[in-house]
Amino acid sequence: MNEVSIINIGDELLLGQVVNTNASTMSKMLTGAGFDVANVTVVGDVREDIERSLDQAIPHSDIVLVTGGLGPTKDDITKKLICDYFHSELVESEVALENVKRIFASRGYELTPVNRAQALVPRCCEVLNNDLGTAPCMWIKHGDGILVSLPGVPFEMEWLMRNRVIPKLQEELHTDCIINKNILTQGIGESFLSDLIEPWELKLPECIRLAYLPSAGLTKLRLTARGRHEEADKLRKAVDEAVEGLYKIAGQYIVGEDCETLDELVHKTLIERHLTLATAESCTGGNIARLLTAQAGASAYFRGGVVAYSNEVKESLLGVRHETLAEHGAVSEETVREMAEGVRKRLGSDLAIATTGIAGPDGGTPEKPVGTVWIAVADASHTEARLLQFGANRRQQNIDRSTNQAFAMLIRLICQKH
Amino acid sequence: MNEVSIINIGDELLLGQVVNTNASTMSKMLTGAGFDVANVTVVGDVREDIERSLDQAIPHSDIVLVTGGLGPTKDDITKKLICDYFHSELVESEVALENVKRIFASRGYELTPVNRAQALVPRCCEVLNNDLGTAPCMWIKHGDGILVSLPGVPFEMEWLMRNRVIPKLQEELHTDCIINKNILTQGIGESFLSDLIEPWELKLPECIRLAYLPSAGLTKLRLTARGRHEEADKLRKAVDEAVEGLYKIAGQYIVGEDCETLDELVHKTLIERHLTLATAESCTGGNIARLLTAQAGASAYFRGGVVAYSNEVKESLLGVRHETLAEHGAVSEETVREMAEGVRKRLGSDLAIATTGIAGPDGGTPEKPVGTVWIAVADASHTEARLLQFGANRRQQNIDRSTNQAFAMLIRLICQKH
């Protein structure tokens, strides 16, 4: 079954100072490649604790992946410990030394003895080259299992997992062929979706597994087909047929495929279709703009946005009429429509998104309780507005749900009309 | 020493679908209350795996905290398992039942048998009432140790930790008195700060421990004083004196106290001083606005912002002059000053922040490489601009550092002049 144990080492993880994103990043990548993560253990930079975690993990897993503790400072003890654990000795690795030299040269620094020591590795290991950093990635075969030690720096770890560790694991362990397909659904709760697609799910071929991955207002369905590599074409065909069947039964809730998140889907769609966007955000407070602009290349389509957190700004920058605000209030269909149309015209974009609502915890009234949100999307000829009532959720949840709802409405508008 | 082991249960955590924020939240709270977290283990909803994690944690820790697996669905097996583990039996708890009834009544739902089963708990446990949800929190004393089982829903877990679990642990274990003090520093790297304050650090009294908590462009120093409860006043005085000494040696780098993050500090400061703010963001893309508006009460000071992702928007909404952009470019001192002054005037705020830069990975030139960022802060009489060169970091890191730099400059402006 190729069961994996992950051990993340670092005092900072036990102080709560840093969220352990390495565990989730690794788990996601491994699951996607057909491996089962059985457990994750986090320990500090303490020799006995690390040894105990190895003692516990190794007998129960085929693969143990260890992150952290590979830096040049004295806190970082993983390398020496792993060396002792496998009764090996530290030797200078030519591959690792070349890598350290290359990185220091590229930064214009001189190589100090402390940094040269980064090229020391246990004799029993194979070095997997770390193109992004000086800490080596070490692959150790032992008895029936494999142990890999990776640096804890997230982007180095992620690069090594993608380019070195997972391909080598797949090769050496002759793993199954895995085909993943993500389908993003929106506008239907997880349990209703589950009821709706049950007849389809029951007829899925045995090679396909279905997972529900819900997040704020969005449910991602992941189909995973698994089989021998010779069957790849057959598996791909089975997935395509399953997806086709899913569209027939739940097509109106499907907003996209092959993305992890709706902001990624919006980003790709706008670039592909050469459309531009502007945003007018009240209750989402800039969250929509920052999710899009966090992605490289957003300037190709994102003209800009207004965070209209006061009525004056809604009037002055977006051109919402004073009478509209006075008559209907800031949280109303009339206002959200004028916000979307105003920002689109003033920023000269093809499309616009607008949000206005009561994120909470305060500011609700009996008529417009916390969680009342109006969202609009607009193009040159049409504005679509929707009222949402999220109920008394927490503030961040209301912001996240409003954001996803706005992205889904935009995708629907684009697919219908552009 | 009151060593704690944390066990987080949930398949979703091993699929990488959800980042395990519970571990870091709990670790931070426990560390702050004087407990040492020795390890964190994550396992799926698998009986043998959970049992093994208990077998491993219990002998090595005084306190075991378990989250997850308490919902009414069949996946959730923690309660039955803990019951068996301690050779107890499930009984209906009056306290827990009252709580379930109260919550169902408040939501206007009827109590189903499935939900009534949530009031079943092991006879050997004490129920700690969960005000926010139907899953009970169970406290079990066994031999020399304590095991507490909490729901995995983050906001319920956090509330229970703060209001039930930590106070009870402190009471029963007669823990030390702990006084924490956070000092936020900015504008100096961790290692330079460490060199600068070394003489002060060496003279700290024995009851005080110092921790460095660095994040994007910001280093938080945490002083933790520890002693008997009768010594509380003495400890507090020692911390105050230490902080005074720190100001003498590194005062110019200190931007605030008693906050976790700079956005929290800005939020508090603006509310306290009755000042209003507007933002004009280019490279930070709305990140500054969304961090402020994520906090309840931001509408007291935040007028709004413009995400000026194109030159046209810088001109039309912020009033940056066409000649300025043509002569100096979008990433320049002249532009960032006009952005800050323009947004302040147009939105009628006391203060303004503006950012413009090249977040990367593309868009750099030899004169203005990726990581070149101009930041300005302005009030009615003064605009302060600064050039930052973050080097070729990743996009998100450049955004986060620019954001923190902007917050720090704003705090400095406020402290000097308002």
Shortest distance between the Cα of A92 and any Cα of chain B, in A, equals: 28
Edge-to-edge strand ranges of the sheet holding B126-128: A126-128, A137-142, A145-150, A63-67, A3-9, A36-43, B36-43, B3-9, B63-67, B145-150, B137-142, B126-128
Taking contacts as CB-CB distances below 8 angstroms, the residues of chain A near B40 are: 13-14, 20, 40-42
User: Which one of A25, A40, A213, A291 would you mutate to disrupt binding with B, by most B Cβ within 10 Å of its Cβ?
Assistant: A40
Amino acid identity, position A214: P
Residues from chain A that touch B287, judged by Cβ atoms under 8 A, are 286, 290, 293-294
Whether residue B255 has pLDDT greater than 70: yes
Q: Would you place residue A1 in the very low, low, confident or very high pLDDT band (cuts 50, 70, 90)?
A: low
Tell me if A303 and B312 make a contact (CB, 8 A cut-off). yes
Residues of B in contact with A14 (CB under 8 A): 27, 31, 37-40
Q: Cite the DSSP H helix spans in A181-316.
A: 190-202, 232-250, 262-273, 287-293, 311-316
What is the 3 state secondary structure string of B398-417? HHHHHHHHHHHHHHHHHHHH
Eight-state DSSP code of residue B386: E
Q: Which of A395-409, B71-85, B201-215, B399-413 has the lowest mean pLDDT?
A: B71-85
- Token pair 């598996």: residue: A235
Q: What is the pLDDT of residues B221-252, one digit of tens each?
A: 989 999 998 999 999 999 999 999 999 999 99
Mean pLDDT, chain B, integer:
92
pLDDT, mean of residues B60-80: 85
Q: How confident is the model at residue A4 (pLDDT cuts 50, 70, 90)?
A: very high
Decide if A241 contacts A225 (C-beta within 8 A). no
Ranges assigned E (strand) in B79-189: 90-92, 120-122, 126-128, 137-142, 145-150, 177-186
> Looking at the predicted structure, is the pLDDT value of residue A19 above 70?
yes
When pLDDT is averaged across residues A159-174 and rounded to a whole number, the result is: 94
Over pLDDT 70: what percentage of chain B? 98
Q: Rounded mean pLDDT of A181-199?
A: 89
Confidence of residue B110 (pLDDT cuts 50, 70, 90): confident
More confident residue, B115 or A142: A142
Q: What pLDDT, on a 0 to 100 scale, did the predictor assign at position A115? A: 81
Average pLDDT over residues B294-320: 96
The predicted pLDDT at position A286 comes to 98
Task: Indicate if the pLDDT at residue B11 is higher than 90.
Answer: no
Contact A303 B313 (CB under 8 A): yes
**Per-residue exposure over A90-112, b if at least 16 CB sit within 10 Å of its own CB, e if not:** beebeebbebbeebbeeeeeebe
pLDDT at residue A30, as a whole number: 95
Instruction: Indicate yes or no: CB of A37 within 8 angstroms of CB of B43.
Output: no
> Looking at residue A109, what is its pLDDT?
79
* B2 touching chain A per CB within 8 A: no
| B304 vs A25, A49, A307: nearest CB | A307
Provide the pLDDT confidence category of residue A339 given band limits of 50, 70 and 90.
very high
pLDDT surpasses 80 at A325:
yes
- pLDDT tier for residue A194 given thresholds of 50, 70 and 90: confident
Cβ contact B23–A20 (<8 Å)? yes
pLDDT level of residue B378 (50, 70, 90 thresholds): very high
A1 touches chain B (CB under 8 A): no
Q: Which of residues 399-418 of B touch A (CB under 8 A)?
A: 399
- CA of B360: which chain A residue's CA is closest? A296
For the stretch B335-351, pLDDT in tens is 999 999 999 999 999 99
* Mean pLDDT within A124-139: 94
pLDDT higher than 80, residue A392 = no
Q: What's this model's pTM, rounded to 2 decimal places?
A: 0.86
Q: Is residue B350 left, alpha or beta, with left meaning phi > 0 and alpha meaning psi from -120 to 50?
A: alpha
Q: Does residue B72 belong to the interface with chain A, where contact is any CB pair within 8 Å?
A: no
The stretch A323-336 carries a mean pLDDT of 97
- Mutate which of A293, A318, A358 to disrupt the B interface (most B C-beta within 10 Å)? A293
- Report how far residue B246's alpha carbon sits from residue B267's, in angstroms, rounded to the nearest whole number: 24
Which of B17, B31, B285 lies closest to A16 in CB terms?
Answer: B31
Among B28, B38, B395, the residue with its CB nearest the CB of A16 is B28
Tell me if B285 and A294 make a contact (CB, 8 A cut-off). Answer: yes
Determine the pLDDT at residue B75: 66
**Sign of the four-CA dihedral B264, B267, B273, B277:** positive
ipTM of the complex: 0.86
Q: Which residue among A44, A299, A346 sits closest to B316, beta carbon to beta carbon?
A: A346
Share of chain A above pLDDT 70, in %: 98
Query: Which residue, among A2, A27, A106, would best test binding to B if mutated, counting the most B CBs under 10 Å from its CB?
Result: A27
The token pair at A143 is 């008895």
B41 touches chain A (CB under 8 A): yes
Note the pLDDT of residue B1. 59
- Average pLDDT, integer, range B41-68: 94
Give the H or E element holding residue B68.
Answer: none
User: Is a pLDDT exceeding 70 seen at residue B169?
Assistant: yes
The predicted structure's pLDDT at residue B313 = 95
Q: What is the pLDDT of residues A346-380, one digit of tens each?
A: 999 999 999 999 998 888 899 999 999 999 999 99
Predicted local confidence at residue A34, as pLDDT = 86
Mean pLDDT, residues A47-59 taken together: 94
- Is residue A4 a contact partner of residue A36, using CB atoms and an 8 Å limit? yes
pLDDT reported for residue A75: 66
- Interface with A, mutate which of B293, B314, B345, B399 (most A CBs under 10 A): B293
CA-nearest residue of chain A to B8? A40
